[in-house]
C-alpha cells in the first residue's frame, strides 16, 4: 500500500500541485492503485485537474483500473467519491484539447463497460454546456 498523506492536504497546497500530481500518478501506477489516503486525493483531484489534465487522467485511470484495464480490486464498492472524480474529469474535458477529450471518452467507455451502472453518471462529463 502506498501513502502520500504528507504530499497532499485536501484543502491546501503542501507541495507544488503539479509535482504532487506527478508523484501520485507514478505511485498509483507502481502500487497498482492501492493507496491509504484516498480522502486527501479525492478532495484535491479537482485542483489537480485545473493544473495538469493529462496527469489527472492518469491518476483517475490508475485509481479505478488495474494495469490490464480491469476494474481495480483495491477500490471499495460503491465508490463514495464518484462526484469528485466526475468533477475532475469535467474540468479536464471542458478545458482540454481534442487529445485529452478523447482520452476521457475512452476512459469513461472502459469504466462503463467494466463497471456498468457504477460509472454510468460519468457520461454527464461528456455533455457540452
User: Is the pLDDT reported for residue 5 higher than 60?
Assistant: no
Instruction: Please state the rounded mean pLDDT for residues 22-38.
Output: 84
Q: Per-residue confidence at 116, pLDDT binned at 50, 70, 90? A: confident
pLDDT for residue 17: 86
Mean of the pLDDT values across residues 53-78?
A: 86
Residue that the C-alpha cell 457540452 belongs to: 128
* pTM of the full structure: 0.87
CA distance linking residue 108 with residue 116, whole number of Å: 10
Q: All 3 cell numbers of residue 120?
A: 454510468
**Each residue's pLDDT tens digit, 68-115:** 889 988 776 556 668 899 999 999 999 999 999 999 999 999 999 998
Q: Are the C-beta atoms of 35 and 2 separated by less than 8 Å?
A: yes
3-state secondary structure of 13: coil
Torsions phi, psi for 13 (to 5 deg):
-75, 125
The C-alpha atoms of residue 97 and residue 87 are separated, in whole angstroms, by 17
- Pick from 27, 58, 31, 30: which is nearest to 45 by CA? 58
Pairwise pLDDT comparison (129 vs 51), residue with the higher score: 51
Amino acid at each position: 500500500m502506498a501513502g502520500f498523506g504528507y504530499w497532499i492536504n485536501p484543502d491546501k497546497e503542501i507541495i507544488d500541485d503539479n509535482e504532487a500530481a506527478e508523484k501520485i500518478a507514478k505511485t498509483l501506477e507502481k502500487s497498482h492503485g492501492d493507496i491509504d489516503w484516498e480522502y486527501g486525493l479525492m478532495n484535491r483531484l479537482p485542483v489537480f485537474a485545473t493544473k495538469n489534465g493529462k496527469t489527472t487522467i492518469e491518476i483517475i485511470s490508475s485509481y479505478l483500473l488495474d494495469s490490464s484495464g480491469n476494474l481495480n480490486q483495491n477500490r471499495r464498492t460503491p465508490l463514495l467519491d464518484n462526484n469528485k472524480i466526475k468533477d475532475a474529469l469535467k474540468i479536464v474535458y471542458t478545458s482540454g484539447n481534442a487529445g485529452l477529450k478523447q482520452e476521457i471518452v475512452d476512459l469513461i467507455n472502459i469504466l462503463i463497460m467494466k463497471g456498468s451502472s457504477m460509472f454510468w453518471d460519468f457520461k454527464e462529463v461528456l455533455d457540452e454546456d
